[in-house]
Amino acid sequence: MAARKIITTQVAIVGAGPAGLMLSHLLAQAGVESTVIEIRSRQEISETVRAGILEHGTVNMLVDSGVSDRVLREGDRHDGIELRFNGESHRIDFKDLVGESVWLYPQTDVFMDLAARREADGGDVRYSVTDTTVHDIEGKPKIWFTDADGTEYELQADFVAGADGSRSHCRFQIPEAHRKWYFHEYPFAWFGILAEAPRSSDELIYANSANGFALISQRTETVQRMYFQCDPNEDVNNWSEERIWDAFRSRVNGNGFELKEGPVIDKMVLKFRSFVHTPMRHGKLFLAGDAAHTVPPTGAKGLNLAIHDVKVLFEGLDSFYKTGSSALLDSYSDRALERVWKAQQFSYWMTSMLHTPADADDFSRARQLGELNSVVSSRHGKVYLAEAYTCLLYTSRCV
Ligand code: DHB
């Protein structure tokens, strides 16, 4: 068998999702070389439907670092959301409460902008690789992989960034004695659809009802994204269009509000849980994004958190290559984890406040309505929600 071809770089990045590509882009801007490898094809990533809310810090990073300003032109700025419960809507006015907004701009578009920018800048991004194994993270890191043509490589690097998503292989390189995992499971999942229908609302609606949670989001003028709470073992094939719309109607319609319906063009069950891997660094390996943590989707923190990790990791790598000091790399895990746990708290809180467990007793249901009423009737309650939703991860401009 032919010997592996050797490639050397400064930072090897595993995973070409938004975290991996953003890191590669920022490093390139600072004159640091990287090679990104990814097991999925570029097309497969572009076609995966993902969440859609960006904090202003994420938008700023895309725009200010020169990835693209498409988010400002084609994304929708949202100045608030609606919390809907007991048949009534309550607006959480982000602008008024904390002077902030978020942008509805799907993660798929973030990926496409980053992939296009890396390509235009001649970045070394290799999609559709196989047989990836990471070696020697405590010494001189190497990654073995086979490219789409079947050629075998050894990628040698100073550092490895593990941005390989929630099914990360990189994290298993950290010896068991040096890692701690935190898990929380939820007794529900989301049934997500894309529907050909006009917008039902200008802003997102997070609805709680005795029948469970629903989220009304958007994609375009003619295609909408919506979710309702379901059992984690639900089979999409058991759900006809009529049954799907019935589920939405029973959770959001009422008191003059009616969802606009249309053909369902995609349906899927999204399982979720809370997970944190600590520490986020071992030896020369740094985990970023879903490889190190996942949050439940309520509140849309996942992508923003991944981009925040990348910002902190980039600062550490940039400082190391500019000054030779590893101080910021050494504090990467602690600095990133501070935000991770804030995002875990917010996502857990939004999830438990808005979902209704199938076995909820009368007390827990009435208490939940008490909690929702407490939030919407208190300016401080609304400010906490608005602050966390809009700028939990980037505190530069929030109250
Ligand atoms: C979307 C997803 C979320 O998890 C959320 O909290 C808001 C919006 C979306 O897909 O549009």
221 pLDDT above the threshold of 90: yes
287 pLDDT above the threshold of 90: yes
For 329, the 3-state DSSP assignment is helix
**CATH number of the domain where residue 259 is located:** 3.30.9.10
Q: Which residue has the tokens 């827990």?
A: 364
388 pLDDT above the threshold of 90: yes
Residue 90 lies in a domain: no
Ligand 1 binding pocket mutation candidate from 216, 217, 220, 298 (most atoms within 8 A of CB): 217
Last residue of a domain, one of 270, 298, 325: 270
Assigned token pair, 9? 């770089």
256 and 314, same structural domain? no
From ligand 1's centre to the CA of 44, what distance in Å?
20
Give pLDDT, residue 52.
87
- In this structure, what DSSP letter does residue 27 have? H
Looking at 142, 277, 282, 301, which residue is catalytic?
301
Give pLDDT, residue 385.
97
Mean pLDDT across the stretch 272-291?
Answer: 98
- In this structure, what DSSP letter does residue 3 have? P
220 and 242, same structural domain? yes
- In this structure, what DSSP letter does residue 128 have? S
Looking at 56, 78, 282, 284, which residue is catalytic?
78
Last residue of a domain, one of 270, 288, 322: 270
125 and 9, same structural domain? yes
C-alpha to C-alpha distance for 19 and 124, rounded to whole angstroms = 15
195 and 123, same structural domain? no
Please report, rounded to a whole number, the percentage of residues in the chain having pLDDT higher than 90. Answer: 95
C-alpha to C-alpha distance for 380 and 375, rounded to whole angstroms = 8
335 pLDDT above the threshold of 70: yes
Assigned token pair, 45? 């990533």
pTM score of the predicted model: 0.96
In 301-362, beta strands by DSSP E: none
Please report how many Cα atoms fall inside a 13 Å half-sphere around the Cα of residue 212, on the Cβ side. 19
Residue 94 lies in a domain: no
Question: Residues 204, 213, 56, 272: is their CA dihedral positive or negative?
Answer: negative
Instruction: Give 188-199 pLDDT, tens digit per residue.
Output: 999 999 999 999
* Closest residue by CA, ligand 1 atom 7: 300
The pLDDT-based confidence of 116 (bands split at 50, 70, 90) is: very high
**CATH number of the domain where residue 21 is located:** 3.50.50.60
Active site residue 18: no
Give pLDDT, residue 323.
98
201 and 236, same structural domain? yes
Q: Which residues have a Cβ under 8 Å from the Cβ of 43 and sit 6 or more positions away?
A: none
256 and 191, same structural domain? yes
Give pLDDT, residue 1.
59
C-alpha to C-alpha distance for 136 and 159, rounded to whole angstroms = 11
Instruction: Give 47-81 pLDDT, tens digit per residue.
Output: 988 888 999 999 999 999 999 999 999 999 999 99
**Domains held by the chain: number:** 2
355 and 256, same structural domain? no
398 pLDDT above the threshold of 90: no
Give pLDDT, residue 369.
97
C-alpha to C-alpha distance for 66 and 93, rounded to whole angstroms = 30
From ligand 1's centre to the CA of 299, what distance in Å?
7
Looking at 127, 153, 332, 389, which residue is catalytic?
389
From ligand 1's centre to the CA of 67, what distance in Å?
23
Mean pLDDT across the stretch 201-219?
Answer: 96
Instruction: Check if the beta carbon of residue 312 is closer than 8 Å to that of residue 338.
Output: no
395 pLDDT above the threshold of 90: no
Please report how many Cα atoms fall inside a 13 Å half-sphere around the Cα of residue 339, on the Cβ side. 26
Residue 89 lies in a domain: no
235 and 171, same structural domain? no
218 pLDDT above the threshold of 70: yes
From ligand 1's centre to the CA of 225, what distance in Å?
8
Active site residue 389: yes
C-alpha to C-alpha distance for 262 and 126, rounded to whole angstroms = 39
Residue 376 lies in a domain: no
Length of the chain (residues): 399
137 and 279, same structural domain? yes
The pLDDT-based confidence of 300 (bands split at 50, 70, 90) is: very high
Ligand 1 binding pocket mutation candidate from 82, 227, 294 (most atoms within 8 A of CB): 227
Active site residue 293: no
From ligand 1's centre to the CA of 218, what distance in Å?
9
C-alpha to C-alpha distance for 217 and 104, rounded to whole angstroms = 9
For 387, the 3-state DSSP assignment is helix
Residue 34 lies in a domain: yes
Last residue of a domain, one of 229, 246, 270: 270
128 and 206, same structural domain? no
Active site residue 105: no
Give pLDDT, residue 50.
86
Residue 53 lies in a domain: yes
CA angle 164, 8, 17 (to 5 degrees): 20
225 and 156, same structural domain? no
The pLDDT-based confidence of 394 (bands split at 50, 70, 90) is: confident
- In this structure, what DSSP letter does residue 256 have? T
The alpha-carbon radius of gyration of the chain (Å, integer) is 22
Q: Name 282's bridge partners.
A: 285
Three-state SS sequence of 62-112? HHHCCCCCHHHHHCEEECEEEEEECCEEEEEEHHHHHCCCEEECCHHHHHH
C-alpha to C-alpha distance for 204 and 210, rounded to whole angstroms = 20
Residue 129 lies in a domain: yes
Domain that holds residue 19: 5-76+103-184+274-359
Active site residue 301: yes
Q: Which residues have a Cβ under 8 Å from the Cβ of 45 and sit 6 or more positions away?
A: 16, 17, 38, 108, 111, 115, 127
* Closest residue by CA, ligand 1 atom 11: 52
Looking at 297, 308, 355, 382, which residue is catalytic?
297
193 and 299, same structural domain? no
Mean pLDDT across the stretch 323-351?
Answer: 97
> Cβ < 6 Å from ligand 1: which residues?
51-53, 204, 215, 217, 225, 297-300
Residue 258 lies in a domain: yes
Give pLDDT, residue 396.
61
- What's the whole-number average pLDDT of the chain? 96
C-alpha to C-alpha distance for 158 and 10, rounded to whole angstroms = 5
